[in-house]
Amino acid sequence: MMLHNALDRYHDRPSSIHDLDPRVKVVVTLLGIFSVLLLPDGAWGAYFLVWCAVLAVALVARLGVGLVLRRSLVALPFALVAITLVFTLPGRTLFTLQLGAWEISASDAGLVRFSSVLVRSWLSVQMAILLVATTRIPDLLHALRHLHVPALLVTILAFMVRYLAVLLDEVTRLLRARQARSAASAQGKAGGSLLWRARVAGNMTGQLFLRSLERSDRIYNAMVARGFRGQYVTINPHRMRRRDWMALGLAFAALTMIQWLGRTLS
């Protein structure tokens, strides 16, 4: 029960960004991410402009700069995978490392490519954070439906969102039950061998799978009981207004500008 709030990334604020049609937000976010990824390496000026735009949106949405920055750090470890670029790209050698029998050297071009990848992924993550912080999940799902994402995919997403919290609760209960019985006797050490612990963890995973399977059966029954015949139907609550079109146009213009600057300046 206590985990639910940790899952919800939505921040309810009265702002013009929150008020935009979710479709516009989804499209602009996707365009923004693609646009950033398409920027050439080392276009630092353009990266900076994108970052300013992200911060501006965060401020207009009354989220504050700190929130977006803090959340975006989560993604950095994943971007570190790109570190191999520093050593694999040909270019002027910066320094050389001796690793046992191997000798690897870092190149300047590799370093530029690596930092660009890092910055670009960091900016993309910030855009995604803005999207989920300003759009409620049901709206997001509807937007995807209206943008002709396959219905089955959206339904799967909807179920995931709905039952993630329930599954987390189930995991918490399993873990708690294990903890409650993980006692130590007065003599001897507590715990058991690694293999034994791995087996317990495996059993718990199996338990979770079986419980989920049974739950999915019950959910399906509940759907069929209310007339579900294989087709998912939803009510359409979204209508594009003038300011939605304007926001879409503005975002498109800004992204084109940044693309152009990034290509001419670098």
Compute the distance between CA of residue 238 and CA of residue 21 in angstroms, rounded to an integer: 7
Please report whether residue 265 would count as binding other proteins according to CB under 8 A: no
Owner of token pair 């498109």: 252
Minimum Å gap between C-beta 23 and other proteins is 17
Owner of token pair 């209960």: 173
Minimum Å gap between C-beta 216 and other proteins is 9
> Nearest Cα to 244, choosing from 18, 57, 24, 53?
24
Minimum Å gap between C-beta 161 and other proteins is 6
Please report whether residue 239 would count as binding other proteins according to CB under 8 A: no
Of 55, 83, 112, 137, the one binding other proteins by CB under 8 A: 137
- The answer to whether the beta carbons of residues 107 and 93 sit under 8 Å apart is yes
Nearer to other proteins, 12 or 108 (CB): 12
Instruction: Write out the DSSP string of 135-200.
Output: S-HHHHHHHHHHTT--HHHHHHHHHHHHHHHHHHHHHHHHHHHHHHT----SSS-SS--HHHHHHH
> Which amino acid is present at 167?
L
Of 58, 106, 143, 158, the one binding other proteins by CB under 8 A: 158
Segment holding 103, helix H or strand E: strand 102-107
Of 39, 141, 144, 247, the one binding other proteins by CB under 8 A: 141
Nearer to other proteins, 59 or 151 (CB): 151
Minimum Å gap between C-beta 152 and other proteins is 15
- Cβ-based neighbours of 112, under 8 Å, separated by 6 or more: 41, 42
Minimum Å gap between C-beta 209 and other proteins is 17
Minimum Å gap between C-beta 8 and other proteins is 8
Fill in the per-residue mask, 160 to 179: x = in contact with other proteins (CB under 8 A), - = not in contact: -xxx-xx-------------
Q: Report how far apart the first and last C-alpha atoms of the chain are (Å, whole number).
A: 52
Nearer to other proteins, 98 or 231 (CB): 231
Residues of span 200-229 touching other proteins by CB under 8 A = 215, 218-219, 221-229
Number of chain positions touching other proteins (CB under 8 A): 29
Q: How far is CA 69 from the centre of its chain?
A: 14
Q: Which residues bind other proteins (CB under 8 A)?
A: 4, 8, 137-138, 141, 158-159, 161-163, 165-166, 215, 218-219, 221-229, 231, 233-236
